Amino acid sequence: MTTKPIFEIMNLNDGANGYGAAYPFSCHMEESRGKPFHIQHHYHKEIELLYFCFGSARVSIGNNTFPVEEGQMLFINSMEVHSITADPGYNASYFVIMSDLSVLSLANNEHFYNRYVLPFVVYDSSLKHLFMADELNGTQIPGLFQTLLTEYKNRKFGFELAIQIGISQIILYILRNCYKKTEYSMLQITKKHAYIFDDLFNYVEKNYPDDISSEVVSNLCHVNYSYFARTFKKITGKTFKKYLNFVRISKAEVLLLSADYSITEVACIVGYTNTSYFIKQFRLYKDLTPGQFRKMLIT
């Protein structure tokens, strides 16, 4: 039996207070209670944070599977395909926080955006997924998850601000533990260019199957391509060609989770006219072929 990954749209409408407010975050608890438990492959624009307070489960993110146990935290970036499985007879209980990056209240500040938001936007490979219990012991992280869930349930005055602050603290922990102080120095660019690059990321998200030429990129960014290429590499750590390939492979990853398309069709849909080249690129980024990836994840 094949399963298609589900694209989730998070939109919490708070009908209880009569305002119909939608929040850029969601908090809840999942429990398996000893029964077979499986959340099928899905993806969403929001980042997701999991903290296991009891038991164990397996969390698949792309082609990686993480056995997760009590006291461990998982970070899942925007648009990463993932699933969660707990075997029968095993109890699992974990907190789930979903959030978009608008919770970082200073995201419109150019220095703040470049330094703290861009690593998530460009899917920086330095951002690890699994944080071990011995890393988290003695930190505020376990307590933050419980506090956020309590704030979310009780909805006392100012709970939105409390949740915003709490999620920001967890994101800060992730960044501080993924980058050593001496390693991480993002290029400082002007606010104007920050917006231009943001527009470029959005353009790639919508037009990744197309042949995005250097002329198109230069026109979008209103700079010559040589300057763009240098600046893009410093900001993202990738050449534009490698970034475009990364986006295409990430989109292919989603399509491969359904048997509706052949590997050749998937290659064509995400912008590769040569299937062999697509397979080569997929192996480069995922360490296995599209066929191996599909066989491993489709149930």
pLDDT score for 129: 92
Distance CA 186, CA 105 (A): 19
In angstroms, the Cα distances linking 44 to 5, 6, 52, 177 are 10, 8, 21, 24
Q: Cβ–Cβ contacts within 10 Å for residue 250, how many? A: 19
Return the DSSP state at 202: H
**Phi-psi region for residue 223, left (φ > 0), alpha (ψ -120 to 50) or beta?**
beta
Tokens of 40: 């099928």
Closest to 1 (Cα-Cα) out of 43, 38, 44: 38
**CA max distance for the chain:** 61
DSSP 233-287: HHHHSS-HHHHHHHHHHHHHHHHTTSTTS-HHHHHHHTT-S-HHHHHHHHHHHHS
Report the topology of domain 238-299.
Answer: Arc Repressor Mutant, subunit A (1.10.10)
pLDDT string in tens for the chain (299-residue length): 344 555 555 544 443 343 345 788 999 999 887 777 888 888 888 889 999 998 889 998 887 889 999 999 999 988 788 889 887 777 789 999 999 877 775 555 555 555 666 667 666 666 789 999 999 999 999 999 999 999 999 999 999 999 999 999 999 899 888 875 444 444 455 656 666 677 788 888 889 999 888 778 878 888 788 888 888 887 777 888 888 998 898 889 888 877 788 999 999 999 999 999 999 999 888 888 999 888 876 65
Backbone angles phi, psi at 145, to 5 degrees: -60, -45
Write down the pTM of the prediction.
Answer: 0.71
Judge whether 100 and 27 are in contact, CB under 8 Å: no
* CATH node for 6-178: 2.60.120.280
Judge whether 186 and 115 are in contact, CB under 8 Å: yes
Distance CA 51, CA 71 (A): 7
